[in-house]
Amino acid sequence: MGAPASTAASATDAGASTVAGPIAQQNNTTNMSNGSSMAGASQMGNGSAMANGSRMAYVRVGHFSADAPEVDVFVDGEAAFTGIEYGDVTDYEALPAGEHQVRISAAEDADTVVFNDTVTVNANQAYTIDATGLLETGNGEYGFVASNGSADGPYLANGGPLVETAQVTVGESNETAAVEFNNQTTEGETVTVDSVTVPEGGFVAIHNLSLQDGNTLGSVIGVSEYLEAGTHEDVEITLFEGVEGTEFSQSDLKNNADIPLIAMPHSDTDGDEEYGFVASNGSEDGPYTAGGGALVDQALMDVGGDATETAAVDFDTQSTDGETVTVDSVTVPEGGFVAIHNESGAVVGVSESLEAGTTENVEVPLFEGVEGTEFNQSELENDSALTAMPHYDRNGSLGFAPLILQDQTQPPANAAAVRLAHAVPGAGPVDVTVGEGNNSTVLFDNATFRNATQYTQVPGGEYTLDVRAATANNTGDVIESFGVDVSNGTSYTATAYGESAESISLQTEVDGEIANVRVAHLSPDAPAVDVYVGGEPFVTDVSSGTITDYEDTTPAEQQVTVTVADNESAVLFNQTLPLQASDYTIVATGEVTPGARTAFTPIVLQDDGTTPDENTSAVQLVHTAPGVSTVDVTIEQNNSTTVLYDNVSFANASQYVQVPAGEYDLQIRAATAGNDGEIIETVGVEVEGGETYTAFATGYVTPDGTFEFLLEEDD
């Protein structure tokens, strides 16, 4: 568990103590805590104490993407929420304040990632991350021009649209040189040129990217065998051998992804059917040309990986009748179209909808079928350079994206606060009204997709919300009506969701209830109790020796009342507590029997929000054993005594102490200056890494009593 300590360690009053490594191998006593009361505690009356400060934010996730599967949400690479179904909203989970990497993926397929970005959250704030929009937004119609570029955008490569330009001759033309070299996966020793046309015979050479820096000869890393005049498909080329005039320092491409290589067709100018371009210093077997330069095509190599389909387009030089052109091959992994642009960049033609995958010989009509464009010609009139550009079939404005909301955590005391989140893709802006005719009131005006309104205050009660098509006077047709019931002192988000305006549902969730409270009934002679928060039952019939799960409530000043179970008038504790966005334990301690040694004394603990690392646990000690004086807690290892908790008195809590995960035998001792008092009890415990715990010492140590040591995770 680390290197031995050589000097005594003492915990300070601020923050958690840490056992940094193994328990020290020494004969003296190592004092590691000075925790007679909780660090930074503020007295709240009647013996209760609460620590100040919180470093946590609180986050929940809503799934409102109609065509997305169940999703998992990962925060900084760790699963935070799993199996969230459409229409569900999770509970809040604590998250350290700051910037986090958030990834949303399909629950059954972690490789299907629909969102991956950073999200920043602030301490003591609550957030909702709603998954909105659609994974599939295609309609089979090319809408890039008509939508002014917001729908059916182009596939990308190297940071820009994927394109290929070809010289198109109107009328008959002789065969011209061409090359198609698509992205591929290779073992590193060979690559495949998909198609090459050498009208007079020749070769196709492979260059590395240094060609673009002017290294014409030294960039050649492979060359094909001699190719007869004409077109050749699937030409396999061996790399790093067979190039006369070059000695290679490697034998293959090293494992990596997206290595760019360039294919260049060459003539056989001396007719010897041997590639001599490098050996002749470029004087023989020069490249075929197009557009005033060498004819080339670039592709990305994935070396040693698994083959994955990527977007690609092959648009070769050709002759046309002026009314159509042919794209030799186009790959659209998610389906889409291939559009033809003229030299000025304008779209002059688009294919029919293409299925996902590769389509060969795609015939594209020119000067028709492009919504949003009027053409002043019906055919290509002159020889031109045209560009083929593959496009998605999807509406970017409706696509999957998160809506990140900051939730209200301090609602008004005498009203309900409600806001509307619009998560219906394809539905236009909406108004929401309540009441009819002259009694109609506008709650929300012009709410738009993937946005939320401000909170509106309304008296608590039942309402019918009319969702309307937005108009200037808020009297549009009612799309759907929903009944809701809201309470004063509570905030709500009403989320309108569905696939379209014709199928709207409404999900209403309480916002900001992120003060998590549990009850530990550790008064050994007290009856079962009920606990009320804000005048409402919070937990009921909690018997002695029971520690409840955390339940959430609004972080605000709350009236907390403890009564005998089923007897609301038998009040044991009644006080206003300022609950923050944090975790709390209300501990019932002491005795209720008249003349008892210790009075019934509830204490309130703010549980630590700091998560230790994966090899360390953080534990605080709460002394609730009546009749037991102040205690020390020690452990023995290798003839050495280490003090974990020093001088902890009844109805008080120590600081958190961080220890290596593992098993420990804790010695509960009567407190002394030397931490060597009589051992009251020895208790075995086991703590796990990355977890935070509260240990409760409770019960009686008299011969007829039962002393217990309860260890609970702080959640």
220-224-230 Cα angle (round to 5): 125
The CA R_g of the chain, rounded to the nearest whole Å, is 37
Contacts for 272 with CB less than 8 Å, ≥ 6 apart:
none
Q: Are both 523 and 621 inside the same structural domain?
A: yes
CA-closest candidate to residue 466, choices 430, 491, 497: 430
* 12 in a structural domain: no
The confidence score (pLDDT) of residue 704 equals 59
Residues 200/229, Cβ–Cβ less than 8 Å: yes
Q: Which domain holds residue 112?
A: 56-136+396-406
Q: Are both 555 and 703 inside the same structural domain?
A: yes
Q: Are both 581 and 678 inside the same structural domain?
A: yes
Helices (H) and strands (E) in the chain, counts: 0, 59
The CATH number of the domain holding residue 266 is: 2.60.40
3-class secondary structure, 80: strand
The confidence score (pLDDT) of residue 635 equals 94
* 541 in a structural domain: yes
E strand map for 373-415: 384-391, 401-407
Q: Are both 187 and 253 inside the same structural domain?
A: yes
Q: What is the pLDDT of residues 216-263, one digit of tens each?
A: 999 999 999 999 999 999 999 999 999 999 999 898 998 877 789 999
Domain boundary among 386, 406, 426: 406
Residue 65 amino acid letter: S
CA-closest candidate to residue 425, choices 445, 400, 443, 447: 400
Number of domains in the chain: 5
Residue 367's CB is within 10 A of a number of other CB atoms, namely 18
Q: Are both 244 and 323 inside the same structural domain?
A: no
The confidence score (pLDDT) of residue 159 equals 74
Q: Are both 211 and 275 inside the same structural domain?
A: yes
Q: Are both 107 and 145 inside the same structural domain?
A: no
Give pLDDT < 70 ranges for the chain.
1-55, 173, 306-308, 396, 608-609, 702-705
Q: How far apart are alpha carbons 44 and 37 in whole angstroms?
A: 13
* 3 in a structural domain: no
* 481 in a structural domain: yes
- Placement of tokens 């549980």 in the chain: 607
The CATH number of the domain holding residue 465 is: 2.60.40.1120
Q: How far apart are alpha carbons 517 and 72 in whole angstroms?
A: 27
* 535 in a structural domain: yes
Q: Are both 151 and 123 inside the same structural domain?
A: no
Q: What is the pLDDT of residues 153-193, one digit of tens each?
A: 898 877 788 898 888 889 876 778 889 898 888 999 999 99
* 32 in a structural domain: no
The confidence score (pLDDT) of residue 306 equals 64
Domain boundary among 459, 493, 510: 510
3-class secondary structure, 212: helix
Q: Are both 170 and 190 inside the same structural domain?
A: no
* 353 in a structural domain: yes
Q: How far apart are alpha carbons 336 and 391 in whole angstroms?
A: 6
The confidence score (pLDDT) of residue 18 equals 34
- Placement of tokens 């629950």 in the chain: 107
Q: Are both 244 and 196 inside the same structural domain?
A: yes
Q: Are both 218 and 283 inside the same structural domain?
A: yes
Phi and psi angles of residue 334, each rounded to the nearest 5 degrees, phi first: -110, 15
Q: Are both 709 and 570 inside the same structural domain?
A: yes
Q: Name the CA dihedral angle for 589, 593, 599, 603, rounded to a multiple of 10 degrees.
A: 20
The confidence score (pLDDT) of residue 46 equals 28
Domain boundary among 377, 406, 435: 406
CA-closest candidate to residue 642, choices 28, 17, 34, 15: 28
CA-closest candidate to residue 555, choices 499, 489, 479, 475: 489
Q: Compute CA distances 702 → 157, 627, 680, whole Å.
A: 78, 9, 10
* 2 in a structural domain: no
Q: How far apart are alpha carbons 290 and 166 in whole angstroms?
A: 9
CA-closest candidate to residue 231, choices 272, 274, 181, 179: 179
